[in-house]
A and B are shown apart, each in its own frame.
Chain A
């Protein structure tokens, strides 16, 4: 059985050259960094906040904070990892504002029944995503990931959607590598379990709802 292939990373030296130029006051270089990463930051922000307006604000504030603090960026990590750390903090802050009744923390480590091996495992249809239109599929995936605790979906989006390495994810979230792996496993298993009802093989069953 194959493994998940990581996304191809951007050339770091090119990114670093843009960072150096931006630090020296070249606004065009910073604009290029914005263009390079705004889609990623928006995706991350919307995955965490689950709110479009909050995600828009996170994109603006994360880039502004990055710009204001460029001089403090020590270049010990990639610029993108540093930017993601800023964006995640902004997104979690907004999530806490919207849900003051409930603590939102990256330290959450919630165990559920979905973390253990299911007793009855149903296989999925060969191309389960083709059972639905693009719009239906997006709705299913959005609804499903929304049900995960913020700490789990944050790790999942950084690691599996954005393609950060385990080390980069740990760095961006200020978590240990074992903590990232533990949350990632639970996030993956919980999503898999929740997608079962949509994607399981229905041959001989009652077909698509």
Chain B
């Protein structure tokens, strides 16, 4: 197995989605190829760091505003469907302000 062969199989190896024979060949390669060992290990760490990073978490205050806006739009859609049935409902409910500085909603 060459380093290029190893690289092609890296995703399946990290995801543990390969047959035992291929896995054994990859692990044999890792025993003696330091470069592939490091690439494999640091790629695994890359995934773990991103997974654990809490990057782009939704802040509680914004979450509350978004939930309120979503449910208001859904209620509005439900009401418009009930009013206009059997005609088609409008595409979407009113655009509600969810960010500070947006236009007042009332």
Contacts and interface: CB of A to CB of B under 8 A. Distances in A.
Contacts of B36: 117
Interface of A: 1-4, 25, 27, 30-31, 34-35, 38-39, 42-43, 46-47, 53, 55-56, 59-61, 63-64, 67-68, 116-118, 121-124, 128-129, 137-138, 141-142, 145, 156, 160-161, 163, 166, 181, 184-185, 188-189, 191-192, 195-196, 199
5 contacts: A34-B67, A39-B57, A39-B63, A116-B7, A166-B15
Contact of B89 (A3, A68, A129, A196): A68
A117 B13 CA distance: 16
A141 B55 contact: yes
Given A1-B41, A188-B11, A141 B49 contact: yes
Specify which of B44, B48, B58, B98 lies most central, judged by the most chain A CB atoms within 10 Å of its CB.
B58
B16 A3 contact: yes
Given A117-B35, A117-B36, 18 more contacts: A1-B41, A1-B44, A43-B57, A43-B58, A59-B66, A60-B66, A60-B69, A63-B74, A68-B77, A68-B92, A117-B39, A124-B41, A128-B45, A142-B56, A185-B11, A188-B43, A188-B46, A195-B49
A183 to B, nearest CB: 10
* A interface secondary structure, majority: helix
Interface residues of B, number: 57
Interface of B: 3-4, 7-8, 10-17, 27, 30, 34-58, 62-63, 66-67, 69-71, 73-75, 77-78, 89, 92-93, 96, 98-99
A53 to B, nearest CB: 7
Contacts of A67: 73-74, 77
Given A34-B67, A55-B56, A195 B38 contact: no
Contacts of A156: 50
Contacts of A117: 3-4, 7, 35-36, 39
